[in-house]
Structure 1
Amino acid sequence: MDTTEREFTVAEARALIPQVRARAAEIVRMRADLAELTLDLRVRGSSERGGIPEVKASEARLDEEIAWFTGQGIEVKSLAPFLVDFPATLDGRSVRLCWLEGDTELAWYHRTDLGFAGRRPLA
């Protein structure tokens, strides 16, 4: 099955939310560590977090975490804040079930052609 064309039911997407939350928490931690490391290196030329090899390793680990989402057919829309969409159909219309960093559950959707600005609560 080509995961780029996966379509989720609300129940399927909600079943993945515990994994999404755990992986998102790790991404948020890695994102903050990488931001501090790169700023320190740029401003001070050194960091207690390491150097260029640690930057490259952090970027690779971040890419691996993101690959889990895309491998599931979940679209990563933003890293800061972390935002993902699950392709779906509601009432015959193409939508994205969306989960935003900090959400405790999957409770929002938007029409595919509107994006985040058209975000509405799931019934």
Structure 2
Amino acid sequence: MGLFTVAEARDELERLMPVLDELLAIRADAAELAASLAPGGPQTGLGGLPELKAAQARLDELMASVQQTGAELKGFAPLLIDFPAELDGVPVLLCWIEGDRTLSWYHRADLGFAGRRPLP
């Protein structure tokens, strides 16, 4: 897939927000279910192994739907998504992390998250 403009990435992120919100909720359910299935684990009203397998399958579907947009899923907990782009001729990744409601950050492709800066 090609590069995103900042406007295209922001539009795509807005379309993805319901998917990301569902992903966060199911990730939490899956973590709780997994903990409850461990020996001596806490009881949960969410179910058991069948529900955990269903949650894991749904997580896979949601993550695939994110990646089908051309965005790169870089982290799962916290959720981290990069949109390949160019700023002033330099390859960058427009960077969204769980908790952000807008796309406001980027980093050079060669620097990674540590080089994250606010979008101009």
- Give me the TM-score of the superposition, normalised by structure 1: 0.90
Q: 1:14-38, CA deviations, whole angstroms, 9 ceiling, x for partnerless residues?
A: 1112222221111110010000000
Structure 1 portions without partners, runs of 5+ = none
Larger helix share, 1 or 2: 1
> 1 CA distance for matches of 2:32 and 2:24?
12
Q: 2:46 aligns with which of 30, 49, 70?
A: 49
Q: What residue in structure 2 maps to residue 24 of structure 1?
A: 20
> 1 CA distance for matches of 2:39 and 2:14?
38
Q: How many percent of aligned residue pairs carry the same amino acid? A: 53
Q: 2:3 aligns with which of 4, 7, 16?
A: 7
Q: What residue in structure 2 maps to residue 68 of structure 1?
A: 65
3-state secondary structure, aligned to 2:100: coil
3-state secondary structure, aligned to 2:68: helix
Aligned length: 119
Following TM superposition, by how much is the alpha carbon of 1:43 offset from its aligned partner in structure 2, in angstroms?
A: 3.5
CA contact (8 A) 1:41 1:47 kept: no
The amino acid across from 1:43 in the alignment is P
Q: 1:56-105, CA deviations, whole angstroms, 9 ceiling, x for partnerless residues?
A: 11111001001111101010011111110000111111100001111121
The Cα RMSD (Å) is 1.4
Q: What residue in structure 2 maps to residue 105 of structure 1?
A: 102
Which shifted more, 77-86 or 48-57? 48-57
- Give me the TM-score of the superposition, normalised by structure 2: 0.92
Structure 2 portions without partners, runs of 5+ = none
